[in-house]
Every structure is written in structure tokens, then in C-alpha cells.
Structure 1
Amino acid sequence: MPRFEVVTLVHAPPELVFDVSLSVEAHIASMSASGERAVGGVTSGRLGPGDEVTWRARHFGVVWRLTSTISAYDRPSFFVDEQVAGPFRRWRHEHYFEAAGEGTLMRDVVDFAAPLGVLGRLAEVVVLRRYLTRLIVVRNRHLTERLEARR
């Protein structure tokens, strides 16, 4: 089962980093390269416990839809979004926020699995893990720049 982790230091308080991480608008802005949009469920504002959102984006030249729900929520330290419908056999993204000096250590832990059996496992190793890690890094860079510009 593929898993990766990305750790990012943000010079902003955990409550603010947590809240912006759940902002639909911030997510859309951070994923502008793939044209990601919220097309169902909660399509604006801040997501909360039990909320669902359907995302539409273009990756690898193909338009995908993924519906996720906020399945765990403990403000300001932790939340989880999980796929309930979409292209993955499994998608679970854990978000951790920990005070670190005058900032926040943001840790993303992603567990995922591709469909299609052996072909999916090959795609996980050859392409998906690296591609998805890069998406999280880009998203976190965008959030960090947005939050630190407020200081």
C-alpha cells in the first residue's frame, strides 16, 4: 500500500494554517495548474466535519472527478479527507498541525491505492507516488506563501 509524507514549516499559527487548509478557495488556487474546481457538495468556504466535496481536475490529460469527505476533525491539530467516489481504489489524506516556535509544522500523510490490479500497482511505483507527492508540495508552497504574506 503506497504511502508518502510531506512536512512543511509555515510561519503562521496552527489555527490559521488549519483553517486555510480546509478552504475550498485556497485549494482551488493551489491546484490551478490542473484546473481543479469544486463541482459538487460544499463548493465554497471552509470544509468541516462530515462535509463532502466533489473535485474536477485534469491530470495526465484526462478529466477526473473525486468526491471526498472530511472523516475526522480535531481543530486545530488534525483532519482527514478520504475519497468516497473517484479514480482511486483508496485515498486517505491525513493533515497534522503542530505548533513549532512561532509557526506551524504541517505534516501530510497520504495513503492511496490505484485501481487495475497489477497495472495499478505498477503505476503507483512508476508515476503516481512521485506525481502525488509533487502535488502536495505545490499545494503546501501555495498555502505557505498565502499565509506568510498575511504577516
Structure 2
Amino acid sequence: MKTYRLEFTQKLPVDLDQAWDFFSSPLNLEDITPKDMTFDVTSPDMDKTRMYPGLIITYKVAPLLGIKLNWVTEITHVKDKEYFIDEQRFGPFAFWHHQHHFKKIDGGVLMHDTLHYSIGWGPIGSIANALVVKNKINGIFKFRYQKVEELFGKF
């Protein structure tokens, strides 16, 4: 099974507390996901929940062609105001491991994401990644970058 790695970095002109408060709330993920994915957190009582190890989050998402899928992730690691990791437990990928890192820098926060994922399906998955999936993921993170700039301003 081929595994892919993507990395994304963004500087935010806010303090670490503000960045952490926003990104550690599961509901804010809806705000920074493209609308055409119809991303919807379906876990109950997420409005009061902050990230903690073992947190299970359920979603409905339409990654391609408007077809809604269930997606379940678990927050496996959290170090307050430094990082958290989500891993897919059920969903569209054969493997999904997403690290979210935050570091205080002069004038704000450096946010760095490392994503490892696999589609599975052998050579068909490799072709799907080359033609569609990698571009879709890059597009999601480009949207997020722009949306975060709208919310917090440019660094």
C-alpha cells in the first residue's frame, strides 16, 4: 500500500492561545472546509468539546461528485498549545494520519500540518491519487489557507 506525505505551513498574526482555541474546536473545521464538500460534524455536543486523546469525531462529507460518506476520526495525541493528531478510523482513505503543529513565533504563530495518507487499491489507487486525490487535498488546504487569512488576517 503506497503512502503519501503532504506538508502545509501557514503563519498566523494571532497569539498562540487564539490559534489553539480556534483549531482545537472540532466545529471550526466546518468553517475552513470548502462548501462543495458539504462537510458536517455529526458527533453530538461538539459545541462544548475541545481536543483530547481518545476523542471520536464523526462527520458526513462529500469528497467527490457530491456523494456523501461517513468519516470517523480519533484524536490520538494532544499536547496543549503545541500539537494534536487525528487518525481516520472509518472513511474514504485506507490510511489517514494528520499532525497539526503550532509554534509561537515573532508576531504570531507558525502552523504546520503533516499529512500521511493512503488510498489503497494498489495501482488503481496510485492513478487515482495522481489524477484526483492529491489535487483535491491540495485544494482543500489552499481553501483553508485563504479562509484562515480571512478570519485572522495576513501575517
Same fold (TM over 0.5): yes
Compared CA separation, residues 51 and 144, structure 1 to 2 (3 A): farther
SS in 2 for 1:99: strand
| Contact 1:15–1:75 (8 Å) recurs in 2 | no
Aligned residue number for residue 36 of structure 1? 39
Q: Give the TM-score taking structure 2 as reference length.
A: 0.86
User: Is the contact made by 2:52 and 2:77 (CA closer than 8 Å) also made in structure 1?
Assistant: no
> In the alignment, which residue of structure 2 is the partner of 1:55?
59
2:80 partner letter: R
Structure 1 residue matching 2:27: 3-state secondary structure: helix
2:98 is matched by which residue type in structure 1? H
| Mapped pair 1:124 → 2:126 | no
User: 1:76-95, aligned counterparts within 5 Å?
Assistant: 76-95=81-100
Q: Deviations over 1:7-62 (max 9, x none)?
A: 00110112221221122231112223311001136643433222111111112112
Which segment is superposed worse, 107-116 or 122-131? 122-131
Q: Which runs of 5+ in 2 are unaligned?
A: none
Aligned length: 149
Alpha-carbon distance in structure 1 between the residues aligned to 2:44 and 2:101: 24
Unaligned runs of 5+ in 1: none
Identity, % of aligned positions:
20
Larger fraction in strand: 1
How large is the RMSD of aligned CA atoms in angstroms?
1.8
Three-state SS of the structure 2 residue aligned to 1:56 is strand
What is the rounded CA distance, in whole Å, between the counterparts of 1:104 and 1:41 in structure 2?
30
Counterpart among 11, 20, 23 of residue 21 in structure 1: 23
Q: Is the 8 A contact 1:94 1:108 kept in 2?
A: yes
**TM-score, structure 1 length as denominator?**
0.88
Q: Which residue of 2 aligns with 1:6?
A: 8
Checking the alignment, whether the CA contact within 8 Å between 1:58 and 1:64 is kept in structure 2 is yes
Letter in 2 for 1:91: W
